[in-house]
């Protein structure tokens, strides 16, 4: 009588070898990013502090809100919308500026700090490549800070809107006008687009340059990051009486094709932004800076 052969179960050793192999490629990056969040509390403390100050200032301003609403009723619809949406735009701009400043100072201290406190000796002993370490640090200003800043900004604007509506309701004024003039959903989409274009892409070469200087400078990384570009501008002006490099720096800092918070949505031009030569040139330059920073970290020791 023929008997069917029993199915051979999959070897547990084989299955255990496949799973760690897949996880090993992402785990070093994941834990490196978590390390940055654990060691640098200012990444989320500073934007939260700015948001708290904004909410407090807005709460104080609600004392005169009924009078301002009566004054705004005499304006045309466009001016009314600008007057009512103005505080929300200012609040969003302040939090945007705070996240950018946090990103700058984080990058300046990212590689310099671990050499200064000699913790680089411990981190180099771990099975994490220099490129993974540098990429994890670059992910903070390009990924973590934009996402965190967007979340804090949206929550702050919602709190402001609820405070505004509560004051209007208590004062016996119409709340419907507020909801019509301050579209939170539209503002959130605009903020998402701005964080994606400006903080995650357009400022990439700035963050890359700061990381490179942070890994190279033996002291005062802020001066080493700022003085060489200023020196190039001065030499060009004295030697050739031109300002091409200064114009290039200004273009990178404030020349984003979609810089600022635009209202309404139709004013945003994503195709123009994605087709800008400056965007792709900046991303290529950022990649060069990151590769150079990873290479020099391999040979740099503690200060």
pLDDT at 284 over 90: yes
Q: Is residue 178 within 8 Å of residue 161, measured between CB atoms?
A: yes
* Contacts (Cβ under 8 Å, ≥6 apart) of 58: 87, 91, 160, 163
- What are 259-280's pLDDT values in tens digits? 555 445 555 677 777 888 888 9
Q: What is the torsion angle, in degrees rounded to the nearest 10, for the CA atoms of residue 197, residue 199, residue 201 and residue 205?
A: 140
Give the pLDDT of residue 15: 43
Top-confidence range, 118-127, 199-208, 246-255, 259-268 = 199-208
pLDDT at 12: 47
> DSSP readout, 43-76?
HHHHHHHHHHHHHHHHHHHGGGHHHHHHHHTTS-
Q: What is the Cα–Cα distance from 126 to 203, expressed in whole angstroms?
A: 30
pLDDT band at residue 198, thresholds of 50, 70 and 90?
confident
How does pLDDT run across 98-122, given as a tens digit for each residue? 999 999 999 999 999 888 888 888 8
- Are the C-beta atoms of residues 273 and 196 closer than 8 Å to each other? no
pLDDT number for residue 78: 66
At residue 103, the pLDDT reads 93
Q: Locate 232 and state its tokens.
A: 């190039």
C-alpha radius of gyration, the chain, whole number = 25
Instruction: Note the pLDDT of residue 82.
Output: 67
Share of the chain above pLDDT 90, in %: 28
Nearest to 253 by CA among 101, 119, 109, 136: 101
Closest CA to 145 of 46, 268, 226, 212: 46
Domain boundaries, the chain: 18-299
pLDDT in tens, 216-237: 988 899 999 999 999 999 999 9
Give per-residue burial for 98-116: e unless 16+ CB within 10 Å, then b. bbbebbbebbbbbbbbbbe
The pLDDT value recorded for residue 227 is: 93
pLDDT for res 73: 64
Q: Each residue of 13-64: pLDDT tens digit?
A: 444 444 455 446 678 888 888 888 888 888 989 999 999 999 999 888 877 7
Distance in angstroms (rounded) separating the CA atoms of residues 256 and 254: 6
**Which pTM was predicted?**
0.81
């Amino acid at each position: 009588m023929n008997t069917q052969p029993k199915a051979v179960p999959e070897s547990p050793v084989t299955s255990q070898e496949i799973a760690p192999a897949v996880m090993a490629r992402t785990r070093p990056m994941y834990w490196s990013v978590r390390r940055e969040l654990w060691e640098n509390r200012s990444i989320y403390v500073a934007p939260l502090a700015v948001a708290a100050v904004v909410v407090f200032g807005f709460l104080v301003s609600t004392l005169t809100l009924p009078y301002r609403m009566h004054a705004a009723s005499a304006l045309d619809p466009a001016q009314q919308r600008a007057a009512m949406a103005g505080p929300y735009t200012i609040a969003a701009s302040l939090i945007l500026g705070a996240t950018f400043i946090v990103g700058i100072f984080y990058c300046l201290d990212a590689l310099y700090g671990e050499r200064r406190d000699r913790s680089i000796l411990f981190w180099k002993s771990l099975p994490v490549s220099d490129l993974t370490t540098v990429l994890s640090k670059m992910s903070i200003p390009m990924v973590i800070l934009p996402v965190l800043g967007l979340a804090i900004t949206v929550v702050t604007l919602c709190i402001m809107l609820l405070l505004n509506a509560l004051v209007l309701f208590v004062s016996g004024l119409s709340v419907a006008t507020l909801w019509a003039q301050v579209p939170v959903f539209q503002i959130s989409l605009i903020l998402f687009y701005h964080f994606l274009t400006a903080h995650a892409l357009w400022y990439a070469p700035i963050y890359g340059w700061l990381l490179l200087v942070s890994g190279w400078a033996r002291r005062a990384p802020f001066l080493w990051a700022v003085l060489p570009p200023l020196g190039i501008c001065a030499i060009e002006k004295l030697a050739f009486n031109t300002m091409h490099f200064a114009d290039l720096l200004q273009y990178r800092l404030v020349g984003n094709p979609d810089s600022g918070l635009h209202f309404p949505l139709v004013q945003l031009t994503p195709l123009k932004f994605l087709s800008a030569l400056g965007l792709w040139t900046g991303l290529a330059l950022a990649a060069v800076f990151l590769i150079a920073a990873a290479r020099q970290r391999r040979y740099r020791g503690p200060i």
